[in-house]
Amino acid sequence: MYPPINEPKRRALVVLALAPTLFAGVCTAQDAPAALETTLVTATRDAADGRLMPLSWSRLSNDEVAFTSLQHSNQLFQRSAGTWISRNNGQESLISLRSPVFTGAGSCGSFLTAADGIELRAPGFCNVNQLFDVDLAQAGGVEVLRGPATAVYGSNAMHGVINVLTASADTSQNAVRLESGSRDFYRLLAGVTLPEAGMAVNVQASSYGGYQDNSGYDQQKFTLRQDRVLGKWNLTGVLAGSNLNQETAGFVQGFEVYEDERASEVNPNPEAYRDAWSLRAHISATRELDQGRSLTITPYLRSNAMEFLQHFFPWQPMERNGHRSIGVQTALRGGDDTLRWVLGVDADATRGWLKEVQDQPFSPNLPQGVHYDYEVDALDLGAYAQTSMELGSGWRVEGGLRLSQTRYDYDNQTGDGDACAPTASSCRFFRPADRDDSFSNWSANLGLSYDLGAAAVYARVARGFRAPQTAELYRLQEGQRVADLDSEQMDSLELGLRGSIDATLSYAVNVFVMRKDDVIFQDSDRQNVSGASTDHEGVELEANWQINDVWYAALAATYADHRYASATDLRGIQGDIKGNVIDTAPRHFGSLRVGADTHVGPHPLRAELEFIWLDEYFLNPDNTATYKGHELLNLRLDWSVSARLKASLVATNLADTRYAERADFAFGNYRYFVGEPRSAVFALSYALD
């Protein structure tokens, strides 16, 4: 199981990724139909044809988002290759984007999640669950970039970018939708549009009783957007907020205990909870200048706070954290049909805080009382240039460079040193004294693409980075007085092909090889250190086939290998793990969807059957514990009963498979977040105009 990939297998990966060129190559620009154009805004913060872009991306339209009718982000991103959102309990999640699923203080720092190109959380203050801040269910679209991003993005855009596009008056509807489903799930979604004012308002409120005992959540979200022209400026203003009150079900413990129906319904942590709210606002102002140039200035505000019980630790401390930010993004664009360029400067100023308190005594080394209480003032500055040039005869080159500076001013609000009494033998919690830290980084990308007419082939090299997160620097353990950390950096080489055949089959396939250095981890002495290396390689495939006027099929598939590339002295690990597969990194996963757009009488009906698979994966760096993987079947139906009324059904896990949404091995135990049994959500939507 999981043998090392040898050279013949490496060559096979490349052949698999580039095999479609054998077909596409027989079509020339003169005799082949043009590939369908897809507008992409995430790569350059400006609308552009994504077909010739030398990077890997996915785009989910607002119609696709609405049809998915997601209860959790996991259900939407199954449609994007290389993307797996591991569903924890309630609205919690962990991200995998051309990567394993990472855990720990800086795990979320490997990805940049954004709304309209602005990060959901400030650099240095990410949270693994931050996708629940944004209204995915009513989004105007979602775009995913895989691998190190372009120069318009800075820290965290290393394994990729998830950018949620706010719904405008053009992509929203005057409609009300009521949903009711299994285990007391209820949701109200409402949208109001005022096209003459360029305004769209979307709100939702949901409640869920939970599958396990004493679990469930209540959640509310809203988004207000207005687009208007004021003099010479085109303005887009957005105000968005969210609130979550969740009763969290903890891991169930025991080898494959999720297969036991009664045991899987038990909540071992009925006292666990998570309360979180967020508020974001920005105004994007664009003005056309002379000589084909334009200027965009986007000031923004960000505020959030969270409180939760750390039920995953036996001593169960409570944590409060949050931050407030003010920032601005700028972009000066120009060029002509041959050369396009964008220059910009970004700034983000944040004040963040974290407090951890343990209410009950546990042991002298895990004491009752305040473990951490600190504030951090952070300033993130970046300057970038990104350009594309047509070389003639179908060739195009793109490149970019970004320079970034991240500064932290840390202020300890409690006593310096150990949080334990002097009699403790080895205190787990250490509070460093006040200090300042600064990190300078650069990222770059260079890509070359060639237009084959019905297809485009590309090659790309890129470097991404992430500065250490504040929790890695200042939430120290076991007497570590200073975390002397470097920024992580990742170098990537990628080859890809995308195109269409007879305007009925569109496809995108790419192969990648990546090396990440100065990886931050917690060593066997519980010290936060950097210096590890990991290797990542694989193939991603997306295809959409319009079989005939009624039937269609779609595939999003990933085959990847993620390994430790250095003799890393990880906590709790005995021996050399170099060459081992990284834990929570399935070799392959994806989704296959078959659907029909038809009619029942005069009324349109869309039906789709979705097959999801997830390969087995290791649960620890030793590669001694595994989860065997799973396969699921889901069904979605949308029936327009009349011009205004639509009935919908989302049925998940049709085969009633016993499975784990996430498997883990810690403190000597197998631990699982249980996958829910067969579920159904019925909805009625009524268009107001």
pLDDT of 656-683, one tens digit each?
A: 999 999 999 988 899 999 999 999 999 9
Q: Which two tokens stand for residue 139?
A: 């989004």
Q: Is the pLDDT of residue 295 over 50?
A: yes
Nearby residues of 81 by Cβ (< 8 Å), 6 or more positions away: 58, 146, 508, 540, 541, 542, 556, 557, 558, 590
Residue 591 has pLDDT above 90, yes or no: yes
- Give, for 24, the enclosing helix (H) or strand (E): helix 20-24
Buried-exposed string 56-84: b where 16+ CB fall within 10 A, e elsewhere: bbbbbebeebbbbbbbbbbbbbbbbbbbb
* pLDDT(34) > 80: no
Residue 360 lies in a domain: no
How many domains are contained in the chain?
1
Does residue 370 lie in a domain region?
Answer: no
Q: What is the pLDDT of residues 407-420, one digit of tens each?
A: 999 999 999 999 99
Whole-number mean pLDDT of the chain? 92
pLDDT 10s digits, 325-366:
999 999 999 999 899 999 999 999 999 999 999 999 999 999
User: What is the per-residue pLDDT for 581?
Assistant: 95
Q: How confident is the model at residue 58 (pLDDT cuts 50, 70, 90)?
A: very high
What's the predicted TM-score (pTM) here?
A: 0.93
Mean pLDDT of 38-60: 91
Q: Is residue 361 part of a domain?
A: no
| pLDDT at res. 13 | 44
Q: CATH code at 664?
A: 2.40.170.20
Q: What percent of the chain has pLDDT over 90?
A: 83
Whether the predicted pLDDT of 564 surpasses 50: yes
Q: How far is CA 426 from CA 115, 414, 420, 518, in A?
A: 43, 20, 9, 28
Residue 37, pLDDT score: 65
Kindly state whether residue 200 falls inside one of the protein's structural domains: yes
pLDDT of residue 122: 96
Backbone angles phi, psi at 587, to 5 degrees: -65, -40
d(CA 271, CA 309): 8
How many angstroms separate the Cα of 509 from the Cα of each of 81, 185, 364, 631?
Answer: 10, 38, 55, 23
User: What's the confidence (pLDDT) of residue 574?
Assistant: 64
What was the pLDDT predicted at 35? 40
Stretch 263-274: mean pLDDT: 94
- Inform me whether the pLDDT recorded for 4 exceeds 70: no
Residue 107's pLDDT band, with cuts at 50, 70 and 90, is confident
Report how far residue 510's alpha carbon sits from residue 498's, in angstroms, rounded to the nearest whole number. 8
Encode pLDDT of 119-140 as tens digits: 999 999 999 999 999 999 999 9
Structural domain for 410, as ranges:
7-349+382-687
pLDDT at 601: 85
Asked if pLDDT for residue 8 goes beyond 60, the answer is no
- Type and span of the H or E element at 280: strand 273-288
**pLDDT bracket for residue 488 (50, 70, 90):** very high
Asked whether residue 247 is assigned to any structural domain, the reply reads yes
Q: How confident is the model at residue 522 (pLDDT cuts 50, 70, 90)?
A: confident
Residue 571's pLDDT is what?
65
pLDDT computed for residue 71 by the predictor: 96
Res 240 pLDDT > 80: yes
Nearest-angstrom CA–CA distance, 28 and 393? 12
Residue 357 within a domain: no
Beta bridge partners of 318: 309, 357
How far apart CA 446 and CA 388 sit, in angstroms, is 10
Q: Facing residues of 298 across strands?
A: 329
Collapsed DSSP state (helix, strand, coil) of residue 455: strand
The mean per-residue pLDDT over the stretch 591-618 comes to: 96
* Residue 354 lies inside a defined structural domain of this protein: no
Tokens of 250: 């903890």
Structural domain contains residue 22: yes
Q: Is the pLDDT of residue 17 over 50?
A: no
CA distance 100 to 570: 16
User: 103 versus 159: which is more confidently predicted?
Assistant: 159
- pLDDT, position 569: 76
623-661, pLDDT tens digit by residue?
Answer: 999 999 999 999 999 999 999 999 999 999 999 999 999
Tokens of 50: 């994504």
Question: What is the mean pLDDT of the segment spanning 159-167?
Answer: 97
- Return the bridge partners of 327, or none: 300, 348
pLDDT score for 22: 35
